């Protein structure tokens, strides 16, 4: 981040500004692209039956996710503070309502919970880097690799250690304020996925994979499934909890919010689809279960690396890239909490990062245990991780997003939002304003009501 630039009577950020629009796009893409695209999207699509889920997810990205991303950046840049203070200050300024700060606070809490399990899964990818490097996947069959994955996650000492390492690196980078340079991993992710796509095309089941992903079977649609698809849209775009708002606070005044958001959403969505196109052909070619769950990529990708020439080197590279992509997302998951502590508690950035990091690290052991096989913790098995994921992706992020759209579309006066958002291109603003006022909030409410069965006969 470059030095803070003065911009007339507008507020400026207390943490400096991004050096350019490109730096900002890379940071937001770094936040959006992560485990959500490569790990979560394929397994959620698998569990929820494929095509129909994918279609609803794409719809949610476009009519809910994109306008909320624009709203978050707009609010962040207008307020130029951490999400809690920004919502409070703007609420007070625009409507005399300070309670909006609570939306920021809910986001801070969502960030804690998400990162607690995110870090554990990121730890798995770091561990798999070493397994790939040791050539453990060479010529193994699906059953062996699945059993190896089961044994790996069952051991809380090992997965806990990788989780600890990942959190330590995340905290160090947040403490130092490092972001630039890491985003290169996200750019390399696409060529790496394209190589894997080549393998998937030759797997003999590419057609079956494409069909699973793109042919909607509407008999699979249910309230819970639509909610899961919407939750996935929020999770993958990092919206609904203030992460993007925190980054928006550092955005130079002249950068276009609409162009930036569209670029990020396109990149994020293409990477998820690409991951799906890689995973499902491997699933069907090897007689695996698409509804395998959170272990899906750890049971399919090693098959590809085990068979590809140079698969050990390539597999190592791939899992390293994935760990880096997870790292840039993890940094953004901590940013609202850390910026909030720095600004309101007057703590230094390193101290705030360490405090936030320790709480999240401890919380992460609940996820470690919920995948483990320890007899005393059998009661946690599977349930805690699922509940954390459900609570954040399906409830907290959409609720946060809903409140953000209401704030941006109804509480902020049109003048201040149109002033921030491309005053030159009126139709961009009008489209956004319509989506934010009516479409996105109504969609979220309908999905919630539908999930609790209000529309069932």
Q: In the chain, how many H helices and how many E strands? A: 22, 0
User: How crowded is residue 181: how many other Cβ atoms within 10 Å of its Cβ?
Assistant: 8
> Among candidates 44, 69, 53, which has minimal Cα distance to 267?
69
Nearer to ligand PFF, 101 or 336 (CB): 336
Least distance to ligand PFF, CB of residue 251, Å: 16
Least distance to ligand PFF, CB of residue 335, Å: 8
Within 8 A by CB and 6+ apart from 445, the residues are 402
User: How crowded is residue 163: how many other Cβ atoms within 10 Å of its Cβ?
Assistant: 28
Backbone angles phi, psi at 208, to 5 degrees: -65, -40
Angle at 403 between CA 64 and CA 248, to 5 degrees: 75
> Whose CB is nearest to ligand PFF?
36
Nearer to ligand PFF, 332 or 352 (CB): 332
State the DSSP H helix or E strand holding residue 415, giving kind and residue range, or none if neither: helix 414-420
Nearer to ligand PFF, 119 or 236 (CB): 236
Nearer to ligand PFF, 34 or 160 (CB): 34
Least distance to ligand PFF, CB of residue 187, Å: 16
Contact residues for ligand PFF, defined by CB under 6 A: 31-32, 34-37, 114, 235-236, 238, 241, 243, 329, 332-333
Nearer to ligand PFF, 110 or 435 (CB): 110
Nearer to ligand PFF, 34 or 357 (CB): 34
Least distance to ligand PFF, CB of residue 122, Å: 9
Least distance to ligand PFF, CB of residue 231, Å: 11
Nearer to ligand PFF, 175 or 243 (CB): 243
Within 8 A by CB and 6+ apart from 430, the residues are none
Q: Which residue has the tokens 């850390």?
A: 338
Q: How far is residue 10 CA from its own chain's centroid? A: 31
Least distance to ligand PFF, CB of residue 271, Å: 9
Counting every residue written for the chain, the total comes to: 457
Residue pair 430/264 in contact (Cβ under 8 Å)? The answer is no
Least distance to ligand PFF, CB of residue 427, Å: 29
């Amino acid at each position: 981040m470059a030095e803070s630039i003065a911009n007339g009577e507008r507020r400026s950020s207390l943490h400096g500004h991004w050096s350019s629009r490109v730096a900002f796009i890379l940071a937001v893409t770094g936040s959006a692209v992560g485990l959500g695209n490569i790990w979560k999207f394929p397994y959620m699509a698998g569990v929820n039956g494929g095509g129909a889920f994918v279609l609803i997810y794409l719809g949610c990205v476009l009519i809910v996710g994109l306008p909320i991303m624009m709203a978050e950046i707009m609010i962040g840049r207008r307020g130029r503070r951490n999400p809690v203070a920004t919502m409070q200050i703007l609420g007070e300024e625009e409507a005399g309502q300070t309670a909006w700060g609570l939306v920021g606070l809910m986001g801070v809490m969502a960030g804690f919970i998400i990162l607690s399990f995110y870090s554990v899964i990121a730890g798995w990818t770091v561990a798999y880097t070493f397994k790939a490097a040791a050539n453990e996947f060479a010529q193994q069959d699906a059953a062996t690799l699945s059993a190896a994955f089961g044994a790996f996650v069952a051991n809380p000492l090992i997965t806990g250690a990788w989780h600890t390492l990942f959190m330590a690196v995340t905290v160090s980078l947040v403490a130092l304020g490092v972001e630039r340079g890491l985003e290169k991993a996200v750019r390399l992710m696409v060529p790496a996925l394209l190589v894997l796509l080549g393998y998937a095309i030759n797997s003999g089941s590419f057609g079956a994979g494409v069909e699973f992903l793109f042919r909607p079977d509407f008999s699979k649609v249910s309230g819970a499934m639509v909610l899961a698809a919407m939750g996935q849209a929020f999770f993958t775009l990092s919206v609904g909890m203030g992460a993007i708002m925190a980054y928006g606070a550092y955005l130079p005044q002249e950068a276009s919010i609409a162009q930036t958001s569209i670029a990020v959403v396109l990149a994020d969505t293409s990477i998820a689809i690409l991951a799906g196109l890689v995973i499902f052909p491997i699933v069907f070619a090897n007689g695996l279960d698409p509804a395998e769950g959170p272990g899906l990529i750890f049971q399919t990708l090693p098959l590809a690396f085990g068979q590809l020439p140079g698969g050990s080197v390539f597999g190592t590279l791939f899992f390293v890239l994935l760990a880096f992509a997870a790292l840039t997302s993890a940094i953004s998951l901590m940013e609202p909490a850390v910026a909030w502590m720095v600004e309101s508690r007057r703590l230094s950035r390193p101290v705030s990062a360490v405090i936030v990091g320790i709480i999240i690290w401890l919380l992460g052991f609940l996820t470690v245990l919920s995948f483990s096989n320890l007899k005393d913790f059998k009661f946690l098995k599977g349930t805690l991780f699922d509940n954390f994921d459900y609570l954040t992706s399906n409830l907290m992020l959409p609720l946060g997003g809903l409140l953000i759209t209401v704030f941006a579309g109804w509480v902020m006066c049109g003048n201040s939002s149109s002033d921030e958002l491309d005053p030159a291109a009126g139709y961009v603003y009008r489209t956004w304003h319509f989506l934010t006022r009516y479409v996105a909030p109504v969609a979220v409410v309908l999905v919630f009501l539908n999930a609790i069965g209000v529309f069932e006969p």
